[in-house]
């Protein structure tokens, strides 16, 4: 590695879609290597847009977005895909592709235009699938897989990119309890053991409570940034989510609304 | 334990069988198409004559029939079929639309209009420039210009929104088809000639035409295979394709440019032959699935085989009269494809 700072940094980022209102209004956010950061906030706060900016898909209308000291806009698509992988919220997978073929797509940014799959690619694909426990259905068309299995295939595809940075957009949204726990376990291991910088958009604040750090987004601005016990605070959450929120003493804290248990 | 399952997950043996079988089928169709005609020639003699010709010796009537009459015609049908099937495969991937075919952006209507004007108004001052190109030249130029116009109209800044591009192409195509009909009606004596051209024919095939399309195909074929992973990525949607390293915009520009060149050249030398570019990629997909490592090369092979077989039918069913090959591709190819569709799983 060079002495470039090992972090993903957004500084004063603004973003608006073509003629629409501003979705991001001056966001500062950093993600360091080895860190597991959760991005939370009510619907429409700009979480998915922030992920688009952080993954180079949307360019800030003002402000700076840099990865390892270099503006995201200066990365080519391939170069960026070798550093960063994204697990989308609802992956759109071609049903007739086998799970293995989908995971192998993660190798594309490492492969030459004409080159065929090298033994190293095969090893990386296999290791990624073993890691997410997707090897058993390697030969199955993804159209025949359950939601949890598909999510493991997509996570394996991201790992096959061998990224240093991993962004997840509500990765647990369509999963049952066991797969939710699995996926969050993977995310934590990837950050703490493998040293990846992991940023995940989360809806479930009780899942968020287990993260290293949380960034709370409110109408395009950062309303809170710090350890879970600082951000998951009843008056702050009540204000941002515009509903009465209670935080039961932890650790870890348990968040509920008055309507809940 | 599951190592083997990872390396050969989807019936590698079956894939190789399909690949080998496709090549054999193509070779058989090519030889049969040269052998069959008003003077039948045995397949063995066809091969002998071809070998002699390659060595520079064309001896006797049969060699002349093979080399100057049948082979150029069969070769032209093969390269045009391959070119249309390749362009169709590329467009179906890029536009993520199973109804996409090489004519989606107006190339066919442009070619038809160019050819009609050259044929009908060739003698007048207004169309002299177009007519000087000859009918194929006029067809090529207007076909290419039509797609360029569609791109220019759809472009927004440096971006090329796919929906706008398709709409611009479809609308331009409809307008040009109407204009072609009008041109035909202004000179009823030449209507039949224009219509025959529009429906496609290989009866005036020359080696020069073969060389033009083959040269384009020699570049586009390998490029299409090289782009197999990019085509696969596009099936994930634009956002995911970008995040997996594909510069989607640049790739779409390149594909539209290359496919337009191929399609315009194919239409210029053979007329507007429908169905090949639409149906062949689907038929191949039903056989080997949607991955482009097989879809691209097998579409080339089956595009060639399908159009050679269609032309063989076109010149033999009611010989000595020829049916326009575009009618055969639609009449025979349509039901054949529907049977495939019923048997296989939908794509």
Cβ contact (<8 Å) for A81 and B229?
Answer: no
Q: Is A131 on the interface with B (CB under 8 A)?
A: no
- For chain B, the average pLDDT equals 86
Beta-carbon separation of B243 and A85 below 8 A? yes
Put residue A167 in one of left, alpha, beta given phi > 0 → left and psi -120 to 50 → alpha: beta
> Between chains, do B9 and A100 touch, taking CB under 8 Å as contact?
yes
Q: What is the pLDDT of residues B212-264, one digit of tens each?
A: 999 999 999 999 999 999 999 999 988 899 999 999 888 988 999 999 999 99
Residue B312: other Cβ atoms inside 10 A: 22
Contact A139 B9 (CB under 8 A): yes
Rounded distance between C-alpha atoms, residue A184 and residue A188, angstroms? 6
The 8-class DSSP code of residue A104 comes to: H
Choose the closest CB to A105 out of B5, B237, B244: B244
pLDDT score of A252? 63
Q: Do B244 and A109 touch (CB under 8 A)?
A: yes
CB contact under 8 Å between B3 and A126, yes or no, is: yes
Which chain A residues have a beta carbon less than 8 Å from that of B289? 96-97
pLDDT at position B346: 47
Stated as kind and residue range, the H or E segment containing A70 is strand A70-71
Task: Give A45-60 as a DSSP string.
Answer: SSHHHHHHHHTTSS--
Query: From chain B, which residues contact A within 8 Å (Cβ)?
Result: 2-3, 5-7, 9-10, 226-227, 229, 232-233, 235-237, 239-240, 242-247, 289-291, 345, 347
Please give, rounded to a whole number of angstroms, the shortest distance from the CA of B234 to a CA of chain A.
10
Q: Which residue in this structure is represented by tokens 């074929």?
A: B221
Name which of A94, A100, A114 is nearest B6 (Cβ-Cβ): A100
A258 in contact with B, Cβ within 8 Å = no
Q: Which residues of A touch B7 (CB under 8 A)?
A: 122
What domains can you pick out in chain B, each with its CATH number?
10-343 (1.10.3470.10)
Q: How far away is chain A from the Cα of B32, in angstroms, using its nearest Cα?
A: 34
Reduced to 3 states (helix: H, G, I; strand: E, B; else coil), residue A17 is coil
Per-residue pLDDT of chain A (261 residues; tens, 9 = 90+): 456 778 999 999 999 987 788 899 999 999 999 999 999 999 889 999 999 999 999 999 999 999 999 999 999 999 999 999 999 887 788 888 999 999 999 999 998 766 778 899 999 999 999 999 999 999 999 999 988 889 999 999 999 999 999 999 988 877 788 888 888 999 999 999 999 999 999 988 888 988 999 999 999 999 999 999 899 888 898 989 888 888 887 666 667 766 543
The interface predicted TM-score of the complex, written ipTM, equals: 0.86
Tell me what pLDDT residue B6 has: 43
Nearest Cα to Cα of residue B151 among B86, B212, B94, B210:
B94
State which residue of chain B sits closest to A115, comparing Cα positions.
B226
Would the CB atoms of A138 and B5 count as touching at under 8 Å? yes
Strands A221-226 and A165-169: unpaired
CB pairs under 8 A between A and B: 86
Closest residue in B to A88 (Cα–Cα): B240
CA–CA distance, A133 with A138 (Å, rounded to integer): 10
Tokens matching residue B295: 């879809």
Q: How many other β-carbons are positioned within 10 Å of the β-carbon of residue B208?
A: 9
**CATH classification number, A7-92+164-257, choose in 3.90.110.10, 3.40.50.1100, 3.40.50.300, 3.30.1330.10:** 3.40.50.300
A200: left (phi over 0), alpha (psi -120 to 50) or beta: beta
Encode pLDDT of B177-223 as tens digits: 999 999 888 888 888 888 888 888 898 888 999 999 999 999 999 99
Strands of the sheet with A62-67, listed across from one edge: A22-32, A7-16, A62-67, A70-71
Name chain A contacts of B240, Cβ cutoff 8 Å.
Answer: 88, 91-92
Cα-Cα-Cα-Cα dihedral of B196, B311, B276, B175, to 10°? Answer: 0
CA distance A148 to B228: 28
CB contacts, 8 Å: B294 with chain A? none
pLDDT for the residue B3:
40
Q: Do B245 and A109 touch (CB under 8 A)?
A: yes
| Contact status, residue A237 vs residue A243, Cβ threshold 8 Å | no
A38, A2, A34, A21: which is closest to A201 by C-alpha?
A: A38
For A24-33, A87-96, B130-139, B301-310, which range has the lowest pLDDT when averaged over its residues? B130-139
- Which residue among A92, A98, A122 sits closest to B10, beta carbon to beta carbon? A98
Give B-chain residues touching A161 at CB under 8 angstroms: 244
Q: CA dihedral defined by B186, B190, B192, B196, rounded to 10 degrees? A: -110
Position B127 confidence tier, pLDDT thresholds 50, 70, 90: low
Question: Phi and psi (nearest 5°) for A6?
Answer: -80, 70
Domain boundaries, chain A: 7-92+164-257
């Amino acid at each position: 590695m060079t002495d470039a700072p090992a972090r993903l940094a957004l500084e004063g980022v603004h973003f608006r879609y073509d003629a629409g209102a501003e979705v991001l209004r001056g966001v500062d956010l950093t993600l360091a290597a080895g860190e597991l950061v959760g991005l939370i906030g009510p619907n429409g706060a700009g979480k998915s847009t922030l992920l688009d900016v952080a993954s180079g898909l949307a360019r800030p209308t003002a402000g700076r977005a840099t990865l390892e000291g270099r503006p995201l806009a200066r990365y080519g698509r391939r170069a960026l895909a070798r550093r960063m992988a994204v697990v989308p919220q609802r992956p759109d997978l071609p049903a007739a592709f086998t799970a293995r073929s989908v995971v192998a797509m993660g190798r594309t940014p490492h492969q030459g235009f004409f080159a065929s799959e090298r033994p190293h690619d095969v090893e990386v694909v296999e290791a990624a699938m073993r890691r997410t426990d997707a090897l058993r259905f390697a030969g199955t068309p993804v159209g025949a897989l359950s939601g949890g299995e598909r999510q493991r295939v997509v996570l394996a595809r991201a790992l096959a990119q061998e990224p240093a940075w991993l962004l997840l957009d509500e990765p647990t949204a369509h999963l049952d309890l066991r797969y939710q726990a699995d996926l969050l376990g993977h995310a934590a291991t990837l950050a703490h053991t493998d040293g990846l910088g992991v940023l995940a958009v989360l809806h479930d604040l009780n899942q968020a409570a287990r993260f290293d750090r949380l960034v709370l987004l409110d109408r395009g601005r950062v309303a809170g940034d710090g350890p879970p016990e600082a951000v998951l605070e009843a008056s702050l959450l009540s204000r941002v989510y515009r509903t009465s929120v209670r935080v039961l003493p932890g650790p870890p804290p348990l968040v509920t609304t008055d309507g809940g248990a | 334990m599951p190592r083997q399952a990872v390396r050969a997950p989807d019936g590698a043996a079956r894939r190789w069988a399909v690949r080998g079988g496709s090549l054999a089928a193509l070779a058989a169709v090519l030889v049969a198409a040269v052998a069959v005609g008003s003077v039948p020639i045995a397949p063995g003699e066809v091969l002998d004559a071809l070998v002699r010709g390659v060595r520079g010796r064309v001896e006797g009537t049969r060699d002349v029939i093979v080399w100057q009459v049948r082979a150029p015609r069969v070769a032209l049908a093969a390269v045009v079929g391959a070119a249309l099937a390749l362009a169709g495969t590329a467009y179906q991937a890029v536009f993520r639309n199973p109804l996409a075919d090489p004519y989606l952006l107006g190339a066919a209507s442009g070619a038809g209009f160019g050819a009609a004007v050259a044929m009908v108004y060739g003698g007048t001052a207004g169309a002299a420039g177009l007519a000087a190109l000859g009918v194929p030249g006029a067809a090529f130029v207007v076909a290419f210009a039509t797609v360029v116009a569609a791109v220019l109209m759809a472009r927004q800044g440096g971006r090329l929104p796919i929906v706008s591009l398709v709409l611009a192409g479809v609308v331009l195509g409809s307008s040009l088809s109407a204009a072609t009909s009008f041109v035909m009606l202004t000179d009823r004596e030449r209507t039949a000639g224009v219509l025959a051209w529009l429906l496609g024919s290989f009866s005036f095939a020359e080696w020069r035409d073969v060389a033009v399309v083959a040269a384009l195909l020699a570049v586009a074929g390998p490029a299409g295979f090289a782009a197999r992973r990019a085509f696969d990525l596009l099936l994930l949607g634009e956002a995911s394709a970008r995040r997996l390293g594909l510069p989607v915009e640049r790739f779409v520009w390149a594909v539209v440019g290359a496919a337009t060149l191929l399609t315009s050249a194919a239409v210029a030398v053979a007329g507007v032959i429908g169905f090949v570019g639409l149906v062949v990629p689907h038929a191949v997909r039903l056989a080997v699935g949607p991955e482009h490592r097989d879809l691209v090369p097998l579409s080339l092979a089956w595009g060639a085989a399908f159009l050679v077989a269609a032309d063989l039918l076109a010149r033999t069913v009611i010989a000595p009269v020829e049916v326009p090959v575009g009618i055969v591709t639609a009449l025979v190819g349509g039901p054949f494809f529907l049977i495939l569709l019923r048997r296989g799983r939908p794509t």
